[in-house]
């Protein structure tokens, strides 16, 4: 199974990335796509004690994201896809290296020249860690230019 890391802000662009990945892959190739959101963890003891990645993911997720995700997955229902969510809270290159090794990702997809738009101020774009350590993972860059796709998904995201 190929494990793919997708740095995300849980906006339309992440679904566009997923669609691009799925359109490129063959039918019998099982995939595990993990949407990873970067999160600046505060220094307070309570946020450490009550650290819950699921809750953090829910806070970042746009209300239309899951509906959009289901639309994309239904389009490629013949493919073997597993979707996961995770949070990266590190601040250094080595912490990112450890994270990637622990999760055993095979490759990562990022959007070229894209500025992430987080729904919370604690969101962090960790793509810089990926780009500065090219030997760590196989990085694929995708250009965000698909007006027809945007028509549909934007409709859901603005609802």
Q: If binding is defined by CB under 8 A, does position 12 make contact with another protein?
A: no
Q: How many CB atoms lie within 10 A of CB 26?
A: 6
* CA distances, 136 to each of 121, 128, 132 (Å): 28, 13, 9
d(CA 151, CA 59): 25
Q: If binding is defined by CB under 8 A, does position 156 make contact with another protein?
A: yes
Q: If binding is defined by CB under 8 A, does position 59 make contact with another protein?
A: no
d(CA 157, CA 37): 18
Site string for another protein, 63-82 (x = CB under 8 A): ---xxx-xxx-xxxxx----
Place of tokens 């959009």: 68
d(CA 93, CA 154): 34
Q: If binding is defined by CB under 8 A, does position 155 make contact with another protein?
A: yes
Applying CB under 8 A, the site for another protein has a residue count of 21
In this chain, which stretch among 33-41, 113-121, 133-141, 149-157 interacts with another protein, using CB under 8 A? Answer: 149-157
Q: Which residues form the interface with another protein (CB under 8 A)? A: 19, 66-68, 70-72, 74-78, 148-149, 151-152, 154-156, 158-159
């Amino acid at each position: 199974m190929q494990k793919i890391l997708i740095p995300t802000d849980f906006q339309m662009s992440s679904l566009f990335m997923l669609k691009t990945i799925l359109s490129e892959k063959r039918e019998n190739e099982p995939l595990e796509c993990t949407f990873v959101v970067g999160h600046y963890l505060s220094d307070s003891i309570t946020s450490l004690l009550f650290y819950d990645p699921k809750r953090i993911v829910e806070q970042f997720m746009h209300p239309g994201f899951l509906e959009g995700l289901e639309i994309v997955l239904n389009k490629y229902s013949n493919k073997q896809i597993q979707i996961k969510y995770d949070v990266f809270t590190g601040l250094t290159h080595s912490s990112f290296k450890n994270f990637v090794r622990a999760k055993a990702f095979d490759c990562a997809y990022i959007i070229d020249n894209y500025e992430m738009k987080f729904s919370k101020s604690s969101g962090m774009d960790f793509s810089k860690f990926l780009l500065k350590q090219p030997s760590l993972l196989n990085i694929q860059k995708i250009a965000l230019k698909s007006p027809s796709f945007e028509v549909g998904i934007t409709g859901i995201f603005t609802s």
